[in-house]
Amino acid sequence: MKLIFHPLFLKHELSGHPEKPERLSLLKLDNCVEAQNGEKYLSLAHEAGYIEKIKSLSRGTPAGSGPPHKEPGKAVYLDADTYINGDTYEAACYAAGAAVQAADIGGFALTRPPGHHAPYGGFCIFNNMAIAVKASGKRTFIIDWDAHHGNGTEALLKNDKNVMYFSTHQVPLYPGTGLRSEGNCLNVPLDAGTGDEDYLRVVEEKLRPALEAFQPEIVAVSAGFDSYCKDAGWLTDLQLTQKSYKAVCKAIARYKVFFVLEGGYNPESVKDGVETVINQFV
């Protein structure tokens, strides 16, 4: 399985913010597939006004007010948690492109900024997963193992008969959604402190039957490693180990799969998580 990356992912940054370039600092990025610009795909998931807003905020000029410009080191906030600097729009376009490529080649997109809360903030800019799923056009089963519920992905793909969204996430926790299942969205809330024993039960009793019933052409994973034990105490409090991620990978091994990075704020969590996935699909 190929990793997909672009140097622009490291230019989306704001000093002191937990969603920072150092998240990827322990990964070997030398031999990655280079991400392509995915700007042309943004409208598959987002309204034109939202896209223009992100572009304008990133370039430091209100929509329609004249030529764009960038001020190094400057950043504004989309919401209380989500920053935008002069490189954010371009980085987010390439993140979307990386996700589309991952779906095409069966790879792992090391996307920054992340996406599964977009367009509702939460550190996210464009919804990379929803864009990739829409671009592929395939019958897709999405697994979101990030510790936070992917409210953006759910909202953008809800009632899409070509998609099943399956999310495990800590409750209570931001964004406070995903408390119940509805339609094509199967939500499995987890208590703080949940570890492998309970998670493996979810895989066997809920995930496998849902996969079998849906019969996808492709399985997509929103791989947030803030559910990993080494991330506990940073922003979340789950206690999963590599054993849980391996169990999910085993459950989806017979399908074409791709992965898109979401959360994970301890660089060791991202390193361990990505390596675990890659080793399952050598």
Model pLDDT for residues 165-189, shown as the tens digit of each residue: 999 999 999 999 999 999 999 999 9
Chain centroid to CA 147: 11
Look at residues 242, 241, 279, 273 and name the one whose alpha carbon lies nearest to residue 260. 273
Write down how long the chain is: 282
Distance between CA 3 and CA 218 in Å, rounded? 18
Which residue is associated with the tokens 């493996």?
200
Q: Could you tell me the pTM of the whole model?
A: 0.94
Distance between CA 70 and CA 115 in Å, rounded? 23
The answer to whether the beta carbons of residues 127 and 156 sit under 8 Å apart is yes
Residues serving a catalytic function are: 117
- Helices then strands (H, E): number in the chain? 8, 10
Segments of the chain with pLDDT less than 50: 61-69, 72-73
Task: Express each pLDDT in 56-101 by its tens digit.
Answer: 999 884 443 344 445 544 789 999 999 999 999 999 999 999 999 9
Q: What is the pLDDT of residue 17?
A: 95
Secondary structure class of 12 (helix, strand, coil):
coil
Distance between CA 60 and CA 51 in Å, rounded? 14
Q: What is the pLDDT of residue 59?
A: 86
Query: Hey, which bits of the chain come out as E strands?
Result: 3-5, 33-34, 75-77, 83-85, 108-109, 140-144, 163-170, 185-190, 218-223, 256-261
Q: Which CATH class is domain 3-280?
A: alpha beta
In the structure encoding, which two tokens stand for residue 65, read together?
A: 């007010």
